Structure 1
Amino acid sequence: MTTRLADPVADRVTRADWTTLTRELDEHGHALTGQLLTPAECRDIAALYDRPDRFRTTVDMARHRFGSGQYRYFTPDLPDVVRELREAFYPRLLPVARDWADRLGSPAPWPDSLEEWLRLCHEAGQNKSAQILLRYGPGDWNALHRDVFGDMVFPLQVVIGLDAPGTDFTGGEFLMTEQRPRAQSRGSSTTLPQGHGLVFTTRDRPVATRRGWSNGPMRHGVSIVRSGRRHTLGLVFHDAA
């Protein structure tokens, strides 16, 4: 996909090939968006990591046995580009979320606007920002997990690479595993180009079986960073308890 990166961030998200993205999400539970941010925009976001005032908390992954490395949760006062990306993605991901819920016979509590959905999260006691900036150095990695912060869950999220693989760092592939019905788990790895996004399932996706649709549980993580430094931006569409 060729993206005109002089345009507003929301327009870049809108121009993505959502037909292909939706098909890949259905088939694999994850899909690359193409380029969303310029290298300069990526560097500006990554540089925020050294401004503790922009974050509500820092998590040391080794301390909690989540892997190795650090991540920080932004305060609710999000940087403009982070807020714009989140607001642009929500209406594009909403039809997928509703379709998946329909196939699985599950509730689809997500209203048309992100603002209204976040209000419902806050009323349920989930009022902490869940937008994440992650930093990995040599030897760091992220254990396979799901980003579920309470009962109010949006089934899709986005990670955006902020550094150039092969130049700024080596290793650090984005990993996903899928637990298949009555079969062994299947894994995949994705090299995330600088400025590109990866849409992926928060916890599971609908899988067709002989008896109809069933949940296919999925987890995500990051392989060992071999050298350099790797930053990523995580966009989550529900707030945390």
Structure 2
Amino acid sequence: MSLFQSMSVCADIIAAHDALEDAIAAVDWAAAETALGLDGYTVLSSLLTPEQCDEVSGYFFQDARFRSRIVMERYAFGRGEYKYFSYPLPDVVGRLRQSLYPYLAPIANRWHSAMRIDQRFPSTHAEFREICHRAGQQRPTPLLLRYQANDYCCLHQDLYGEHVFPFQAIFLLNAPGRDFTGGELLLTESNPKKPGRADVVPLRQGDAVILAVNHRPVRSARGFYRANLRHGVSRLYWGQRHTLGIIFHDAK
């Protein structure tokens, strides 16, 4: 590839990543907050282009980008594997983390107020990351997951220390039906005042789901109480499924 071609490719990548920030800014965040409050999740359609999905899923084989690899079956987490990115994060991953956070932080603060949780979140992710790091949570948590035939993920919560941001984002990087079958995102809610429920979240390639990390506020006659949420992935029947997880708090 010539120098001119390399410069052209870099310019295209930068333009695509700038467009990503514009797409996040264009989200109807009021509607997203309503959906989060009702269901504990909201889907943001087509945030990543197919080219960006291919770029990110291709990182899986670039070991230098990651700090650790987890084979899920060894820890009874399910079947499949995932890798935690190391700092510095790839540009698109870092931009997603930094660009989503300012829209979610005010919602997080309103949730904490409703649930009588003292912690409040600053306006930028850089400030929040510094809070995590001062508390010893210094390991980056964005991760890339790969599922193949018969792989699945047990229901869980992504909690890594004292400072927990109440939302995370999951991006589907492959096309259901074309690249894999099965492998649906599962969300369950345990409600202390009514029977629990489960949702299957339909996602297309490039979609993101914003979901509650551990609980959501539920209104009652006496204010709000907490409903507990977990998420997982159903068994993949064939093909390959990659997802990018954006967790905003770092780990100890």
TM range (shorter): over 0.9
Q: How does 1:86-101 map to 2 (within 5 A)?
A: 86-101=97-112
How far off its partner does 1:78 sit? 0.6
Instruction: Provide Cα deviations, 1:94-113, integer angstroms capped at 9, x if missing partner.
Output: 11101101111111331111
Query: Any unmatched runs of 5+ in structure 1?
Result: none
In structure 2, the residue matched to 1:151 is 162
| Larger helix percent | 2
Instruction: Provide Cα deviations, 1:159-203, integer angstroms capped at 9, x if missing partner.
Output: 001000111001111101001123321100112210110000010
Instruction: Provide Cα deviations, 1:50-88, integer angstroms capped at 9, x if missing partner.
Output: 011110000011000000000000001111001111111
Q: How does 1:201-240 map to 2 (within 5 A)?
A: 201-240=212-251
In structure 2, the residue matched to 1:116 is 127
Which residue type is aligned with residue 30 of structure 2? T
Q: TM-score under structure 2 normalisation?
A: 0.92
How far off its partner does 1:6 sit? 8.2
Question: Equivalents in 2 of 1:56, 1:179: separation in Å?
Answer: 33
Which residue type is aligned with residue 178 of structure 1? E
Q: TM-score under structure 1 normalisation?
A: 0.96
How far off its partner does 1:7 sit? 5.1
In structure 2, the residue matched to 1:129 is 140
Question: Equivalents in 2 of 1:205, 1:20: separation in Å?
Answer: 16
Indicate conservation of the 8 Å contact 1:165/1:191, yes or no: no
DSSP 3-state at the match of 2:48: coil
In structure 1, the residue matched to 2:95 is 84
| Residue 28 of structure 2, aligned match among 13, 17, 33 | 17
Structure possessing the higher radius of gyration over alpha carbons:
2
How far off its partner does 1:20 sit? 1.3
In structure 1, the residue matched to 2:51 is 40
In structure 1, the residue matched to 2:65 is 54
DSSP 3-state at the match of 1:35: coil
Q: Percent identity?
A: 39
DSSP 3-state at the match of 1:16: coil
Query: Any unmatched runs of 5+ in structure 2?
Result: 1-15
How far off its partner does 1:209 sit? 1.8
Question: Equivalents in 1 of 2:222, 2:67: separation in Å?
Answer: 46
Question: Equivalents in 2 of 1:11, 1:84: separation in Å?
Answer: 11
Indicate conservation of the 8 Å contact 2:17/2:92, yes or no: no
Indicate conservation of the 8 Å contact 1:17/1:33, yes or no: no
